[in-house]
Amino acid sequence: MKYGILINEGPFTHQASDTAYQFTKAAIEKGHRVLRVFFYHDGVNNANALSEPQSDDRNLVKLWGDLAKEHKIDLVVCVAAGLRRGIKDQVLAEGFRISGLGQLTEIGMAADRLLTFGD
């Protein structure tokens, strides 16, 4: 099955991004395809390269980047939501790209299922 993923929360206050990450990993291991992960609302904070969690904690920014690289997943940060929150090219972590909201609609159209992870 072809999945699209929408993440609406940042990496720490909520578990949404963690759950989405675990789902994405599990889906790929089961042979499904994740076409795109779209980061919206505070979810754009998952792409902040300046994020520096404590060394004994998970680092979702890096985990997403690594997963995307390994499995060639398109990680898209919403430009409008990003600008409001200071997520711009200057601080964009490896593996992510910034684009418009149309990329979310597109994935809704192209994927068999669009899953929202949020509050």
Partner 1 sequence: MSDDIETEFETEGVEKKFMFLNRKAPYGTIYALEMLETVLISAAFDQDVSLVFMDDGVYQLKKGCDTKSVNMKNFSSTYKALGDYDIQKLYVERESLEARGLTVDDLTEVVYEDEDDDWAEKPAIRVVSRDEIAVLMEEQDVVISA
20/75 with CB nearer partner 1:
75
Residue 67 Cβ vs partner 1, minimum distance, rounded to whole Å: 12
44, 78, 87, 92: which one is catalytic?
78
Residue 55 Cβ vs partner 1, minimum distance, rounded to whole Å: 26
DSSP one-letter string for 48-109 = BTT----TTS--HHHHHHHHHHHHT-EEEEEHHHHHHTT--GGGBPTTEEEE-THHHHHHHH
43 is catalytic: no
60/114 with CB nearer partner 1:
114
Catalytic residues, by residue number, are 78
